[in-house]
Chains A and B, each alone.
Chain A
Amino acid sequence: MAGAGVIDDYVTALDRRLRGPDPVKEDLLAEARDSLHDAAAAHRGEGLTEDAAQRRAVAEFGPVTTIAREYQGLLGLAYGVRTLRSVMLVLPLAYLMWELNRKFWIGSWDAFAAPPPEWYLMIARLNDTSAWFVAGAAVLALLIGRRLARTTVSTMTLARLAGVVAVVAVGVSLLGNVAILAATAYLDAPRLLMSPPVAAATVVSFAIALRLAVLARRCVVFSSV
């Protein structure tokens, strides 16, 4: 059927221009295809041939570049929301996991041979609070984004905002982890290897933070296409 190719070509062209989470993309494309077939059926009912009906349906749907831009905004936003939710839940959980693990295997920290300098205590305090700060920032961004979605702010702009918040949040968390590790290694390196399970938990925490960094980077990529 010649007309089937018109809609298929259009949806394929749209698909090729979109980048983002597959389930959301497939959902959007399935709905677009349904709508095009509905429109074509309506035009056939008005007496057009199959091919002409589908060409008109595609023309009414809009130029593929324009529509792709709008759909890409949605995909970027969906990915941004998902990443911010992950940041909100996973980072505090990873922090709690590490602290519980440390309390179980090590208990209270032994005092340093000499009182640690003020800068070390500041890094430790920042690292202890960063997971909660970052989770709070993610919650706030989600709430503000939901409110902004009711205004004329475009989905692409919202997606970019989500990406920026995700990158900053994950960056702060990673920076806190690296800073406390480097500072502890500088002052008392053996302390890092006091307990293999705690060292393993540290590696897992880093792997989680790096994974979130990858997700955050994709947020920016998907909202910049």
Chain B
Amino acid sequence: MKSDALRGHLDALLLATLDGGQLHGYAIIEALQRRSGGALDLPTGTVYPALRRLETAGLVASEWSTVGGRQRRTYRLTKAGQRALAAERTAWREFTTAIEGVLGGGPWPAQA
């Protein structure tokens, strides 16, 4: 999948990966790749600036903590992040329902 097409959704995707609890950066990248079946082809280095921007926006919080015996920066959703994720999911369902209604029904019947 093209990275340009993903950029507009990257924030929502990152929020969704943190929905289950706090993760460090590489675990977020692995979760993104696993849950997309490997279709998300994004330079992994762009994920960290996106996470920090979400932190500036108050949607995620981060801290250095020990994970697997190593010091890592871990990220978690804030309350505002949970609300933003819920809003993104609602908007996405509305969008896909609308597009599915137009594209998903096969060829349109010929007009009389």
Task: List residues of chain B with CB within 8 A of the CB of A30.
Answer: 73
Whether A222 sits at the interface, judged by CB under 8 Å, is no
Known: A149-B57, A150-B57, A150-B84. A74 touches B43 (CB 8 A): no
* A93→B70 CA distance, assembly (Å): 42
Main secondary structure of the interface of A (DSSP, over half): helix
Q: Could you tell me the distance in whole angstroms from the C-beta of A26 to the nearest C-beta in chain B?
A: 12
Asked whether A149 lies within 8 Å of B43 as measured between CB atoms, the reply is no
Partner of B26, one of A27, A35, A62: A35
Whether A9 sits at the interface, judged by CB under 8 Å, is no
Whether B38 sits at the interface, judged by CB under 8 Å, is no
Q: How many A-B residue pairs have CB under 8 A?
A: 75
- A38-61 contacts to B (CB < 8 Å): 38-39, 42, 60-61
Q: Could you tell me the distance in whole angstroms from the C-beta of A160 to the nearest C-beta in chain B?
A: 15
- B50-66 contacts to A (CB < 8 Å): 52-54, 56-59
* A81→B57 CA distance, assembly (Å): 12
Binding site for B on A (CB under 8 A): 27-28, 30-32, 34-35, 38-39, 42, 60-63, 66-67, 70-71, 73-74, 77, 81, 145-147, 149-150, 152, 155, 158
Binding site for A on B (CB under 8 A): 7-8, 11, 24-26, 29-30, 43-46, 48-49, 52-54, 56-59, 70, 72-73, 84
Q: List 17 A-B contacts (CB under 8 A).
A: A28-B48, A31-B73, A32-B45, A34-B25, A34-B72, A35-B29, A39-B44, A61-B45, A66-B46, A67-B46, A70-B49, A71-B48, A77-B56, A149-B56, A149-B57, A150-B11, A150-B59
